[in-house]
């Protein structure tokens, strides 16, 4: 059985990756290698205050490359923000894009690139392999250990008319280079460290149980889980400890390579629904529905969930299936609580009246396609109810 799955045809895509202290300072060098004359720097106001944008500017200046800054990006990047970015890119005669920030600036930068290159609204690219032309060269510098947008072939954009998050899945949105410097995560507040870290853990878990997983993605997913589960709480408590920050960033990178190629599952489908309809923080939504989806999915992928439990350091040896599942669920909840994320999406403003529309959106989300267990709209509604 394993041999059959190992021989299934799979592809694995990844950008060029530069990892380690000082990776941020390589922006100018790579922009020069791409023949850049003027760079569009995509970021958000918070990153400007942290000082990381200044480091990016210094690197570009050292190579004599002109630049302009687009910081009109909000969490869960919106379709109209991408449209504004395209206009800004064209008006300023840019020829390369540099994203500095978390998932929102990086997804926005991806959207700007392909919308510009194809001269179409970014929403036209919803789905898998729907982007005809790649965008201009894209350099990504992640400042959170979570989204892994710097290495993935996903871009998640908020369709503000339909109030849903759309997924653009295409190798044309894989960045040309990811410059990954763990030091950039030291300025994250505790709440953001928790939410993005749990998002990365969900990436690893969902890619490992995905029905599109492969030995290549399994390798990365299983390596990511102990790094993330074992360092998250310590990174929150000791934000300047580079050992913990490095392990979280490395875990995020590995989980990103896994999910980019194996896709995700129902946790992300449900979280996208919450983010699209209500604008809620993505990582926190993932954290709050994870245990409910694992409980639902467990019968369809018990052995894989057991390996996840072992990778998280949960004692499940010698237990029966029910006990192993319960230990995993308790371990997930305990980690979330120790990370300081309160239980219940109701605390974020979700009401029972929202659930039918949330469930309808989740079942149409591309991430649901690779969930290990089929689910009806009613079953997804029940999961949302349990998560309230």
Contact 13, 257 (CB under 8 A): no
Residues 155 and 274 in one domain: no
Phi, psi (degrees; rounded to nearest 5) at 155: -135, 125
Q: Which domain holds residue 155?
A: 16-185
Residues 271 and 328 in one domain: yes
Residues 201 and 330 in one domain: yes
Is residue 213 a part of any domain in this protein?
yes
Does the pLDDT value for residue 220 go beyond 70? Answer: yes
What crossing angle do the helices spanning 266-278 and 282-297 adopt, rounded to 10°? 140
What pLDDT score was predicted for residue 1? 45
Query: With the C-alpha atoms ordered 376, 103, 241, 343, is the resulting torsion angle positive or negative?
Result: negative
Q: Give the C-alpha separation, 324 to 227, whole Å.
A: 21
Is residue 5 a part of any domain in this protein?
no
Contacts (Cβ under 8 Å, ≥6 apart) of 119: none
Does the pLDDT value for residue 3 go beyond 60? Answer: no
Q: Which two tokens stand for residue 8?
A: 């299934």
Which range, of 78-92, 312-326, 365-379, averages the lowest pLDDT?
312-326
What pLDDT score was predicted for residue 2? 54
Of 185, 218, 252, which residue constitutes the final position of a domain?
A: 185
Does the pLDDT value for residue 310 go beyond 80? Answer: yes
Report the percent of the chain where pLDDT is more than 70.
Answer: 98
> Tell me: the pLDDT tens digits for 241-274?
999 999 999 999 999 999 999 999 999 999 999 9
> Tell me: the pLDDT tens digits for 359-388?
999 999 999 999 999 999 999 999 999 999
What pLDDT score was predicted for residue 331? 96
Q: Domain count for the chain, please give it.
A: 2
Residues 168 and 270 in one domain: no
Residues 96 and 178 in one domain: yes
What pLDDT score was predicted for residue 45? 87
Contact 236, 185 (CB under 8 A): no
Is residue 105 a part of any domain in this protein?
yes
Of 185, 204, 227, which residue constitutes the final position of a domain?
A: 185
- Token look-up 């990370």 returns 339
Residues 83 and 194 in one domain: no
Residues 176 and 279 in one domain: no
Of 185, 216, 247, which residue constitutes the final position of a domain?
A: 185
Phi-psi region of 20 (alpha: psi -120 to 50; beta: other; left: phi over 0): left
Residues 119 and 205 in one domain: no
Residues 131 and 231 in one domain: no
Q: Look up the CATH number of the domain holding residue 309.
A: 1.20.1090.10
Residues 171 and 278 in one domain: no
Q: Look up the CATH number of the domain holding residue 181.
A: 3.40.50.1970
What pLDDT score was predicted for residue 373? 98
Contacts (Cβ under 8 Å, ≥6 apart) of 227: 247, 248, 250, 251, 254
- Eight-class DSSP state of 318: T
What pLDDT score was predicted for residue 343? 82
Task: Specify the DSSP element, H or E, that contains 195.
Answer: helix 190-209
Q: Which two tokens stand for residue 54?
A: 């200044």
283 - beta bridge partners? none
Is residue 137 a part of any domain in this protein?
yes
- Cα 120 to the center of its chain, rounded Å: 24
Residues 229 and 347 in one domain: yes
Is residue 1 a part of any domain in this protein?
no
């Amino acid at each position: 059985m394993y041999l059959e799955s190992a021989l299934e045809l799979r592809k694995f895509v990844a950008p060029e990756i530069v990892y380690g202290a000082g990776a941020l300072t390589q922006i100018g060098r790579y922009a020069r290698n791409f023949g850049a004359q003027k760079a569009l720097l995509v970021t958000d106001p918070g990153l400007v205050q942290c000082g990381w944008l200044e480091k990016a500017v210094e690197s570009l200046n050292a190579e004599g490359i002109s630049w302009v800054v687009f910081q009109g990006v909000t969490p869960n990047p919106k379709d109209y923000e991408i449209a504004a970015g395209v206009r800004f890119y064209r008006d300023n005669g840019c020829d390369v894009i540099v994203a500095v920030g978390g998932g929102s600036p990086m997804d926005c930068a991806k959207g700007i690139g392909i919308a510009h290159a194809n001269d179409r609204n970014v929403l036209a690219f919803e789905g898998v392999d729907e982007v005809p032309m790649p965008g201009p060269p894209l350099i990504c510098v992640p400042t959170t250990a979570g989204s892994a947008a710097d290495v993935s072939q996903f871009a998640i954009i908020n369709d503000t008319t339909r109030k849903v998050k759309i997924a653009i899945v295409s190798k044309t949105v894989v960045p040309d280079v990811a410059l990954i410097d763990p030091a950039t995560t030291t300025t994250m507040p505790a709440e953001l460290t928790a939410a993005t870290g749990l998002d990365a853990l969900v990436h690893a878990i969902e890619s490992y149980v995905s029905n599109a997983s492969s030995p290549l993605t399994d390798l990365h997913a299983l390596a990511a889980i102990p790094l993330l589960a074992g360092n998250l709480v310590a990174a929150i408590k000791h934000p300047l400890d580079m050992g913990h920050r490095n392990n979280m960033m490395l875990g995020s990178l590995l989980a990103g390579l896994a999910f980019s190629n194996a896709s995700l599952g129902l946790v992300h489908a449900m979280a996208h629904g919450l983010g699209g309809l209500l604008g809620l923080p993505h990582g926190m939504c993932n954290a709050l529905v994870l245990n409910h989806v694992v409980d639902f999915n467990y019968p369809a992928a018990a052995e894989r969930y057991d390996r996840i439990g072992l990778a998280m350091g949960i004692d499940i040896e010698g237990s029966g299936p029910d006990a192993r599942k319960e230990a995993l669920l308790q371990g997930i909840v305990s980690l979330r609580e120790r990370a300081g994320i309160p239980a219940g999406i109701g605390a974020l403003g979700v009401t029972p009246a929202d659930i039918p529309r949330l469930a309808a959106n989740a079942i149409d989300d591309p991430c649901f396609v690779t969930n290990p267990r089929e689910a009806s709209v009613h079953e997804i509604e029940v999961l949302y109810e349990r998560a309230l």
